[in-house]
Structure 1
């Protein structure tokens, strides 16, 4: 009886919230962009949320009312548009991390790729590799926005799983980032570009990137097509992220593949986080079923040709989410904090590294005023550098990645590809051979300079 009463109470809370939202629709549309422009301690929750109406939610923001007014009026004209690089947003909605940093978060569960490389079973190899890619979605669902990288900005990571990781912002219009990671087991390369569609109360995000993993033991190549994402409740309700659709990971060497379906979130949170699918052989016959939640764990079991669990086998866990910090201000994982730390930085950090961005660092320290002014200063300098190049006839050339004169065709558009040129290996080898003693990195002793090249 108590459970039934609770369900009725939750139902009344839901419908009263809808009624309250509708009654305040006219005024709220004019007075708030609180979902888009940030709450204090934003959290991703099940979309049924609580019973607070939109005006109560708006009061949680760190915005003055007049600021919300001006940004909502500005954003109205972008409905239906790709806002990837059209809009300059205020620092209050940002997390203290750049997008080229965020690319390295995928490496948190890199041990799964190590296991895939050493695995003799071609289907279990795909189980490990696909679980590696699913594992990052817990980090990617954060509702804070990373800083847009400055052209030429880089991020270096060392001291994690024997991996050397490097990313670089290789294009500003359109925004394109490239990354390369490598250890004793695999080589990982990505060209990353997103296409967005602003819908008023939500934004659709389409990943136009190409992700490729090459295993060193036998040279097998995997390519990934991730699902699109949707940022919900930009105007009304609490902001949350969903990634409904198919993730396809293909072994281009053998033709085997994994198809995982990310369930869309339904009413009252039904299907939230759920992932289901199969490993198929080249003849598209199911060999192993996969199931779980990207917020918790993924398990696998051998199956028959009908996709049913094979008699005498049992479900086994292959990946489990690392316990995240409790009530973290920016919803960071422990690994995300590690990314921002100089503990993962190599010797003689590049001056173009994201850690050195003064706006990012000020935001990390909680100084929003300085973060905002530094962000504006960097953007102004970027525009000035572009104007200088145009006047002198110079063309920006990435330092560590080269254009491949090759185009990838994705479900959401074509993508110009960049490839790692190997110069960073030479750079690091020269540093490692030097006799200089590396001092503790002081954020104030190295000026952020992505234009040094």
Structure 2
């Protein structure tokens, strides 16, 4: 089997040979496949308390998740309808200094600090490199699978590299977002399930995997930086391999809030566990120090159930991830490589091409969406179109409408119940089922959250 040899741009590593194994179709010119006959045994799949009944049905079904019906090809947009809104007249310093140490998700911010996506759509962004999940579902080798899942977990941070300085819209309670991509083989739905605290839940499935999580992020300002601390568990189910992978996200920090070039760092330890096999992958997202120029580095090891190291990983979360053997650390195999951002990304809030497509309302899906879908959210749509004053006024209207609805429910003793997700044993949220079966049949009448 032939492999492609790549050059390393960093002069410090100029003598390292990088080869690309063919198990992942991320680099277009590499089309080989490989099979590892030295497969590891996978124990029977245990039901997790974090799995909802609807998800469990997907796991136990012999044929796996329902396939995505074929659709006519969609020509997706390549740019946003308007350039970024200026932040020149906004004093971030005064806003943050008046709220030092507070959870910033509870503080009203000027709309010009936003990017034209929301937190539900940000969850969908984590599936940009879903090819890694397909590859993990196809391999019988547990170690290879752990390496691929590790690459997928890291790849979710790649889209953030040019996004410092802006924040996503906070969804309204009950707001939903769907992303069905026949070209990528998955269907995704997310919903804001709680307002205090603000929790988002999502579920995605394909013929090979199920991906779900609930996400709560607390943000605090400390002097010159702003820290985002996530909680919740990310889950990937591979029904064909009877495997279940779980991990938690690392901390994100915005540096140089007031002066200099703003940039994001992700740091901390991420431990990925295979519930079925006992294998683990421990990934360390390194924090850049004063005495090193290294940025965005990730290193990791895969261990078998006894704790023995069986694979080694290195790379950068914004660029690529490599696998190597301890006996030959200079021979790096490409597991994943980030797709370069469009050349005009500074005029698109730093978005990747995948991000540009998320809020697009194409004619093929408009009649199929529920009225709660983010694409119908008026202030975000105005903002995307560059109508800053109209968007600011509309944002205030929607927030006031949400407050009035919450007060009315409290007065009447009503408890909010999410439409598509439900609380499961523990602290998590699970998919109820039924969303995709009801596409095109959603109720359009009744009170709109927008």
**TM-score past 0.5 threshold:** yes
The aligned residue for residue 335 of structure 2 is: 318
| 423, 433, 442: which one aligns with 1:422 | 433
The aligned residue for residue 35 of structure 1 is: none
User: How many angstroms does 1:200 deviate by?
Assistant: 2.9
Q: Is the 8 A contact 1:289 1:309 kept in 2?
A: no
Q: Is the 8 A contact 1:351 1:448 kept in 2?
A: no
| Secondary structure of the structure 1 residue equivalent to 2:146 | helix
| 188, 196, 201: which one aligns with 2:219 | 196
Question: Structure 1 CA distance, aligned partners of 2:359 and 2:446?
Answer: 15
The aligned residue for residue 176 of structure 2 is: 154
User: How many angstroms does 1:301 deviate by?
Assistant: 2.1
Question: Structure 1 CA distance, aligned partners of 2:293 and 2:270?
Answer: 20
User: How many angstroms does 1:347 deviate by?
Assistant: 5.2
Q: Is the 8 A contact 1:157 1:346 kept in 2?
A: no
Q: Is the 8 A contact 2:84 2:386 kept in 1?
A: no
| Secondary structure of the structure 2 residue equivalent to 1:84 | helix
The aligned residue for residue 78 of structure 1 is: 99
TM-score by length of 1: 0.75
* Structure 2: segments with no counterpart, 5+ residues: 1-82
Q: Is the 8 A contact 1:184 1:216 kept in 2?
A: no
* Cα gap change, 1:364 to 1:226, in 2 (>3 Å): same
Question: Structure 1 CA distance, aligned partners of 2:226 and 2:423?
Answer: 29
Question: Structure 2 CA distance, aligned partners of 1:449 and 1:168?
Answer: 17
| 444, 448, 451: which one aligns with 2:449 | 451
Question: Structure 1 CA distance, aligned partners of 2:415 and 2:368?
Answer: 27
User: How many angstroms does 1:172 deviate by?
Assistant: 0.5
TM-score by length of 2: 0.75
Question: Structure 2 CA distance, aligned partners of 1:103 and 1:198?
Answer: 23
The aligned residue for residue 308 of structure 2 is: 285
User: How many angstroms does 1:197 deviate by?
Assistant: 2.4
* Cα gap change, 1:335 to 1:291, in 2 (>3 Å): same
User: How many angstroms does 1:346 deviate by?
Assistant: 7.2
| Secondary structure of the structure 2 residue equivalent to 1:104 | helix
Q: Is the 8 A contact 2:378 2:394 kept in 1?
A: yes
* Cα gap change, 1:327 to 1:447, in 2 (>3 Å): farther
Structure of higher CA gyration radius: 1
How many residues are aligned here?
Answer: 361
| 237, 241, 249: which one aligns with 1:214 | 237
Question: Structure 2 CA distance, aligned partners of 1:345 and 1:158?
Answer: 9
User: How many angstroms does 1:449 deviate by?
Assistant: 6.8
User: How many angstroms does 1:266 deviate by?
Assistant: 2.6
| Secondary structure of the structure 2 residue equivalent to 1:107 | coil
| 198, 208, 213: which one aligns with 1:185 | 208
| 123, 144, 167: which one aligns with 1:145 | 167
* Structure 1: segments with no counterpart, 5+ residues: 1-39, 43-60, 408-415, 433-445
- When the two chains are superposed, the root-mean-square deviation of aligned CA atoms in Å is 2.5
User: How many angstroms does 1:168 deviate by?
Assistant: 0.0
Q: Is the 8 A contact 2:286 2:296 kept in 1?
A: yes
User: How many angstroms does 1:94 deviate by?
Assistant: 0.4
Question: Structure 2 CA distance, aligned partners of 1:222 and 1:321?
Answer: 22
Q: Is the 8 A contact 1:256 1:282 kept in 2?
A: yes
Q: Which has the higher contact order (CA 8 A, sep 6+)?
A: 2
Question: Structure 2 CA distance, aligned partners of 1:211 and 1:138?
Answer: 17
* Cα gap change, 1:235 to 1:253, in 2 (>3 Å): same
